[in-house]
A and B are shown apart, each in its own frame.
Chain A
Amino acid sequence: DAKTTQPTSMDCAEGRAANLPCNHSTISGNEYVYWYRQIHSQGPQYIIHGLKNNETNEMASLIITEDRKSSTLILPHATLRDTAVYYCIVRASSGAGSYQLTFGKGTKLSVIP
């Protein structure tokens, strides 16, 4: 799996967009970018994933650069409930031979009232 680099922590004002960056310069052609988050004391929660096109769902948007070496998760209108640790994971779409999701240290997002 490609290595990812994320900032340790970020702050965002409530109601503003939260933009969380992730660098994955060694990503392979068949690897997707996945985002999960873990709210304090809860299980991780899947947010979104993508290969090369930008993606949007009800929770967030994912912007992947053209060279695929970095991506940004966007929470369009952050609320206090979005305070969590956000993990960027790069993996091939099939988990054959390895089913473990590797969660690094992630980015601690604090949404400020």
Chain B
Amino acid sequence: NAGVTQTPKFRILKIGQSMTLQCTQDMNHNYMYWYRQDPGMGLKLIYYSVGAGITDKGEVPNGYNVSRSTTEDFPLRLELAAPSQTSVYFCASSPTSGNIQYFGAGTRLSVL
């Protein structure tokens, strides 16, 4: 199984540009999450979803949007990229609301 797949692995954006970070999972998990990790820091939850068509804000949602049209996919949209959004973004999924989450390899984003 591929698990949780994130694309792209790396991206450089100019200030004000927009992009979508892709996340797909093949484990039929209902719950999916987007985190960001700044250098030397822990992970912060951006958005999460408890199932197709249902999303909710996490700790740091400003500047981001998500959608969940299928169980498998949970894309994260950045509108008007800012240098403060330079970070590593991790997508994760879990079969229930429990605390065993499976993470993707991450997308490293630089906004210059």
Interface residues of B in 1-49 (CB under 8 A from A): 4, 31, 33, 35, 42-45, 48
Q: Are B103 and A45 in contact (CB under 8 A)?
A: yes
Residues of A within 8 Å of B, CB-based: how many? 22
Among A34, A43, A93, A102, residue most surrounded by chain B Cβ atoms (within 10 Å): A43
13 A-B contact pairs sorted by A residue (CB < 8 Å): A34-B100, A43-B4, A44-B103, A49-B100, A91-B99, A93-B98, A93-B99, A95-B97, A99-B31, A99-B58, A100-B43, A100-B48, A101-B99
How far is it, in angstroms, between the C-alpha of A100 and the C-alpha of B99 when the chains are bound? 9
Given contacts A44-B43, A105-B42, contact A100 B103 (CB under 8 A): no
Return B12 CB to nearest CB of chain A, in Å: 17
Within 8 Å of chain A (Cβ to Cβ): is B64? no
Within 8 Å of chain B (Cβ to Cβ): is A7? no
Secondary structure of the A contact surface, majority rule: loop
How far is it, in angstroms, between the C-alpha of A100 and the C-alpha of B101 when the chains are bound? 10
* Interfacial residues, chain B to chain A (CB-CB below 8 A): 4, 31, 33, 35, 42-45, 48, 58-59, 90, 92, 97-106
How far is it, in angstroms, between the C-alpha of A89 and the C-alpha of B43 when the chains are bound? 13
List residues of chain B with CB within 8 A of the CB of A96.
97
List residues of chain B with CB within 8 A of the CB of A100.
33, 35, 43-45, 48, 58-59
Given contacts A44-B103, A99-B48, A100-B58, contact A94 B98 (CB under 8 A): yes
What 0/1 readout, one digit per residue, does chain A (68-101) give for beta carbons within 8 Å of chain B?
A: 0000000000000000000001010111100111
Q: Are B42 and A102 in contact (CB under 8 A)?
A: yes
The chain B residue sitting closest to A106, CB to CB, is B42
